[in-house]
Chains A and B, each alone.
Chain A
Amino acid sequence: MNAAIAGLGLTEMGKVFGRSTADLAADAVRRAVTDAGLTLGDVDGMLMSSGMRNELDPRFAFELGLPRLRLLAAVQAFGASAGSMIASAARAIADGTATTVVCLFADTPLRSDARAGATWGRFTALEGFHGWQLAGGVTTPNILYAVAARRHMEAYGTTTEQLAEIAVAQRAWAAGNPMAQFRTPLTVEDHQASPWIADPLRRLDCCLVSNGAAAVVVTSAERAADLAQPPVHVWGYGEGHRPRQLMAGSTWGIETAAVESGRTAMTRAGVTAADIDVVELYDCYTYTVLVTLEDYGFCPKGEGGAFVEGGRLAPGGDLACNTGGGQLSSFYMWGYTPLSEAVIQVRGQGGDRQAPRHDVALVSGNGGILEYHSTLILGREAR
Chain B
Amino acid sequence: MSSTASMPTPTFPPVRRTTDSADFFDAAADGGVLLRRCDSCRMVRGPQVRWCPQCHEAAHQIQLAEGSGRLVSWAVVHRPPHPMLEADGPYVAGLVEVDEGPWLPVRVVTAPNQAPHVGMLVRLVASASAEDGEAIVFAEAAFDAGGPTPA
Contact = CB atoms under 8 A, between A and B. Distances in A.
A17 interface: no
Given A129-B48, A150-B75, A248-B97, A123 B82 contact: yes
B144 interface: no
B54 to A, nearest CB: 9
Given A137-B93, A138-B107, A195 B15 contact: no
B85 interface: yes
Contact of B75 (A125, A133, A143): A143
A52 interface: no
Interface in A48-101: none
B121 interface: no
Given A129-B48, A138-B107, A147 B13 contact: no
A129 B95 contact: no
A151 B42 CA distance: 29
Max chain B CB contacts within 10 Å: which of A123, A126, A142, A200?
A: A126
Contacts of A130: 48
B15 A246 contact: no
B48 A198 contact: no
A137 B91 contact: yes
A140 B94 CA distance: 13
B21 interface: yes
Given A137-B107, A150-B73, A246-B46, A198 B78 contact: yes
B8 interface: no
A205 B79 CA distance: 14
Interface residues of A, number: 43
Contact of B77 (A125, A129, A133, A198): A198
B136 A245 contact: no
Given A136-B136, A197-B79, A246-B49, A128 B21 contact: yes
A377 B133 CA distance: 51
Query: What are the 10 A-B residue pairs with the smallest beta carbon separation, nearest first?
Result: A128-B18, A146-B75, A129-B48, A138-B105, A246-B103, A199-B76, A121-B81, A151-B73, A131-B15, A198-B75
Interface of A: 117, 120-121, 123, 125-140, 142-143, 146-151, 154, 195-201, 243, 245-248, 250, 253
8 contacts: A132-B15, A132-B136, A136-B105, A136-B138, A196-B76, A198-B76, A198-B78, A247-B45
